[in-house]
Structures are given as structure tokens and as C-alpha cells.
Homo-oligomer: A and B are copies of this chain.
Amino acid sequence: MNYWEDIEIGRNFETGEITVTAADIIDFATKFDPQPYHLDPAVAEHSIFGGHCASGWQICALMMRLLVDTMNRDGVRSVGSAEVESLRWHRPVFANDTLNAQICVTGRKPSTDYKQYGLIDCAIEVVNQSGEKVISLTTDMLIEREEEVTDE
């Protein structure tokens, strides 16, 4: 296990990889973002994106999957985040791109709301198979503590 107490500022978590297919892009877009450049590869070729690309929110969802798999691998238990700042979509994610992410711990503090969790601040970058940055964001996450805070 990696508890909140174990996670120091400057710690880097490197995720595994995930590949997004044309069918994945169409499935997500059909449910959540039914725009022609996500639904139809032929239309997308002639769009400003220049190819069949994933919804920006699908990229965030794929980032979350990379993050959850990494937390499970490394024994970190989180109950999520309350906020994101500076979410940037730097370039499209195209069908058959393979993504991975880096999570860098930039800050940490006890939670004022929960005795059993502590907060960490994170800067997250997702890159494609060519190492090009596709999204970046900062967030905080509630992480399980080894020892609950006790009242004095």
C-alpha cells in the first residue's frame, strides 16, 4: 500500500498505456458528443482536425482509466477529486493512438473535511505514442491515510 503519508512532493507516477480505436471513438461520441468529426471518419478527414478524433471528454475519461489502473497497481486508494484547473487540449487524439500519462505530486495537505483522507495536488500530462502532449491539467485528490487524524 501507498498511503497519503507515504506520498511525497516530487513523486512521479508513470501509468501504463491505452489505445483508442475508431470504434471506441464512435461509441463514446454516439452517447456523449455526437458531432460529425467524432462520428464519421470520412467527414473528419476534411474537418479542421484533419482526421478521425476522439471527444475531448473521452480523452479525460481515458486519462482517468490510466490513473485508476496505476493507483490499483501501486496500492493507492482515492475517493477522487473535487476540482480541476487549467485543463488544456493541446492536440487531437486520433483513432489508434496510444496514450500514457505522468502524474507529478506538487503539493500535499491534510483534509479539513475527512479524518481518514489527505489531499495531494497533482499535475497530470497525457502524451501520445510520439511523445506529443495531448492534454494537461492540475487537480487535487483525496488519498487514504494510514492513520486517521485524532482529535486533540
Q: Which residues of A contact B (CB under 8 A)?
A: 28, 31-35, 37, 47-49, 55-58, 60-62, 64-65, 68, 78-89, 114
**Is the Cβ of B82 less than 8 Å from the Cβ of A85?**
no
* Given A86-B85, A88-B82, A89-B82, A32 contacting B48 (CB threshold 8 A): no
**In the complex, which residues of chain B have a beta carbon less than 8 angstroms from the beta carbon of A68?**
33-35
What copy number does this chain have within its complex? 2
* Given A48-B114, A60-B57, A32 contacting B65 (CB threshold 8 A): yes
CB distance from A109 to the nearest CB of B (A): 18
Closest to A62 in B: B32
CA distance in complex: A68, B55 (Å)? 12
Besides A81-B89, A85-B85, 20 more A-B contacts (Cβ < 8 Å) are A28-B61, A31-B61, A31-B65, A32-B61, A32-B64, A32-B65, A33-B64, A34-B68, A35-B68, A35-B78, A56-B81, A57-B57, A57-B61, A58-B61, A60-B60, A82-B88, A83-B86, A83-B88, A83-B89, A84-B84
